[in-house]
Structure 1
Amino acid sequence: MLKFRQLFHTTKCAVVGMVHVGALPGNTPKITPWGHFFTPQKNTHDTCKKRGTPLCNKSVDSLVFKACKEAEMYLKYGLDSILVENMHDVPYIQSKYFTPETVATMTRVCTEIRKIAPGTVPCGVQVLACGNLEALAVAKACNFDFIRAEGFVFGHVADEGYTDANAGLILRYRRQIQAENVLILADIKKKHSSHAITSDVSLVETAQAAQFFQADGLILTGVATGSPANVSELSQVKKFCSLPVLVGSGVTGDNLGDYMGADGVIVGSYFKKGGVWYEDVDEERVRNFMEKRKIFITMALKLLFLVAICLTRTVLCENSTENFNETETAPQDLYVIKTVVYEVGILTDAGNDTNTNDTHEQVDVSFFDPSQNGTIDLSNIPLPIQTNVSGVSVTGLLPAANLAAILVPPSDGLPVLPKKQVTVTQNISTNNPDKGSEIISNLPKLLGLTKKNESETRD
């Protein structure tokens, strides 16, 4: 989870926009009883009229231009991430039949998208069908941050044929090309597939198997592209797995609220004209979707404030040296609101007889009133080899008269937030053991866990 949070720089539901690359060029492999080999054709013109995937009718430059325009649209409206996929290469073939043109063209497209996407925007790639090793190679070459992997655990029958589990191959290849920084987000019980051969393995068990096989995240889908995922299944997977879970199909502006509990949503079809995946991106749909996401986040903040109000005390500010409204009116009762939500992750080299990997200890902390005493016992944690602290602190002073506005939002649906509000985001990460120990020792101070008299002294 920490690797995902560090990459996406958010504790909210991330929005990943799909870039559906047009049909790629590529020579058709000639199949023989001993396998397959390539039958190259002369490339005198940069077109796909007589070669390539069945729908290919554009030059490589045209494919790159359109893909970059889609990416620019997503960046314009503040999407958290971009995922590039050769969706138009229908009907798909298994990766063992790929030709070099597929990887070469996807590398070209991803390289150009990486040039226009800020380094803070995570970019991922998927090569259909089940081209997980190829996707890793593209990601490594293009400085991409993650891949979407099919068939990570448990075999299944897809519309392009039988797909065998490949987690072992993927992780070994990732190590071989030194691409450990590339996250693997694995589909579980993926769309467009029959899972009858694993009907005795539940979705949660599949998710747990992917976690055991060291996936970096999980992707939950419906039965097909554009088909919504089951909300109750999302809750179950989140409950029994500690990996980040993304919803990978069927998310729309109308059902976004159902999936805000996910760590991310991958949106493709909804962003297209008419909600059809092969159409062009509709700017109005992208704008409306992101505005709705903003409203949901604001409403979540409202809930945090409501909880904070219930847990904090009313403070009479008659002796305050600060005039809140900057007028000469009589002081009001003020509600002091402070929410601090931090995720603390500590990776240690502690011995573990049942696991040859490094021990990973994670603490989730939520505090609403830092003036109250609080302690965290970290004395039993060994010398850290990596320490990560991430979170958001929101503080504010709210006049009592505005309480009703929070309880009953105005007509535009947005709650009234405190007139004086400070939002602070802190992300700290280090691989230095000494620095990690220092961070841990200062956690009470960092998290606002100061004694009441200390807080008053500073004031």
Structure 2
Amino acid sequence: MSKNWLKDAYGTEKPIIAMCHLDPLPGDPKYDNNKGMEWVVDRALKNLTALQEGGVDAVMFSNEFSLPYLTKVEPITIAAMGRIIGEIKSEIKIPYGVNVLWDAKASVELAVVTGATFVREIFSGVYASDFGLWDTNYGSIARRRRDIGGESVKLMFNIFPEASVYLGNRDLVDIAKTTVFNHQPDILCISGRTAGAETSSELLARVAEAVPDTPVFANTGCTVESVASKLSVVDGAVVGSAFKRNGDFFEMVDKEEVLRFMDVVTAFRK
């Protein structure tokens, strides 16, 4: 496996993938029936615009506010996400991916339908989590991906998911090695304990050293202060909260925060 495809896919080395968090969707406990889907679509477009004008390298759409999450989503969630991406697709100017939390099969299917080029999900492992016992079966996902013509969709394996613990006493480096051997992921994502929580630089470095031919991304917690140090040991980052007003997970994207962050990234790349 090689890392050479990263620059071709994202137009740069050390890409920053920005999260475009979707507001609660129909069927979610916090969905606002009075505001309706038009409001959700409008907010997604505003966040997308701020991210693109701020200079991020790629964007990933996720149903981040579908709390509490399901490990197998209802069909209405996929339909709603498909509608949102379809309505704003003409405004997307950079590579984009999807993440249907926490349903790997739905994520791959949505990617194929919407033309997304990458997916981030929990594809492997068994976890005890805030959402109950969390089991996976990547073999079935790999076959479904092939059946629906999704071989070109890149898969970002989150092997250290937030709000959960791997069942079994295994070191994360060991998990990274066996995941690469058994599943050949396109990217490994390493997270902190919750959305927005910093990922340990020491942990990132250990994983990156253990799987030198597989891209490793910091999946949570990169800030304008820490991103340069993170990128010094990994191949890219997924960023959400740092792009929002006051760094608040529940706020809208702030273009000025995006510009400030990406200025640091640009300086680091030089």
TM range (shorter): over 0.9
Separation of aligned partners in 1, 2:58 and 2:19: 9
Which amino acid in 1 is paired with 2:11? H
Match of 1:198? 168
Q: Matched residue of 2:119: which SS?
A: strand
Match of 2:266? 294
Match of 2:201? 231
Structure 1: runs of 5 or more not aligned: 27-52, 299-459
Match of 2:244? 272
Match of 1:22? 23
**1:325-346 CA distances to partner (integer Å, 9 max, x unpaired)?**
xxxxxxxxxxxxxxxxxxxxxx
Give the strand-richer structure, 1 or 2. 1
Shift of 1:78: 1.6
Q: How does 1:212-227 map to 2 (within 5 A)?
A: 212=181, 213-227=183-197
1:128 lines up with 2:101 in the alignment = yes
Separation of aligned partners in 2, 1:110 and 1:249: 23
Q: Matched residue of 1:84: which SS?
A: strand
Which amino acid in 2 is paired with 1:239? E
Identity %: 29
Contact persistence 2:201–2:229 (CA under 8 A): yes
Which amino acid in 1 is paired with 2:14? C
Match of 1:165? 136
Contact persistence 1:257–1:296 (CA under 8 A): yes
**1:169-227 CA distances to partner (integer Å, 9 max, x unpaired)?**
211110010110101100012111122x222x211111122212121111011111111
Separation of aligned partners in 2, 1:21 and 1:79: 18
Separation of aligned partners in 2, 1:252 and 1:91: 26
Shift of 1:297: 2.0
Query: How many residues are paired up?
Result: 263
Contact persistence 1:253–1:289 (CA under 8 A): yes
1:63 lines up with 2:35 in the alignment = no
Match of 1:211? 180
Separation of aligned partners in 2, 1:5 and 1:205: 28
Q: Matched residue of 1:181: which SS?
A: coil
Q: Matched residue of 1:234: which SS?
A: helix
Shift of 1:280: 1.2
Match of 2:11? 9
Q: How does 1:72-87 map to 2 (within 5 A)?
A: 72-87=49-64
Contact persistence 1:126–1:149 (CA under 8 A): yes
Match of 2:75? 100
Q: How does 1:300-449 map to 2 (within 5 A)?
A: none
1:185 lines up with 2:185 in the alignment = no
Separation of aligned partners in 2, 1:240 and 1:114: 38
Q: Matched residue of 2:157: which SS?
A: strand
Shift of 1:5: 3.4
Shift of 1:276: 1.1
Separation of aligned partners in 2, 1:113 and 1:135: 18
Q: Once superposed, which parts of structure 1, at least 4 consecutive aligned residues long, lie more than 6 Å away? A: none
Separation of aligned partners in 1, 2:229 and 2:247: 18
Question: Quick one: which of 66, 76, 90 aligns to 2:67?
Answer: 90
Separation of aligned partners in 2, 1:155 and 1:18: 25
Structure 2: runs of 5 or more not aligned: none
Shift of 1:271: 1.0
Q: Matched residue of 2:160: which SS?
A: coil
Separation of aligned partners in 1, 2:74 and 2:161: 25
Separation of aligned partners in 2, 1:192 and 1:295: 33
Give the helix-richer structure, 1 or 2. 2
What TM-score, normalized to structure 2? 0.93
**1:104-138 CA distances to partner (integer Å, 9 max, x unpaired)?**
001112223432112xx221111112x11111111
User: CA-atom RMSD, angstroms?
Assistant: 1.3
Which amino acid in 1 is paired with 2:172? L
Shift of 1:99: 2.2
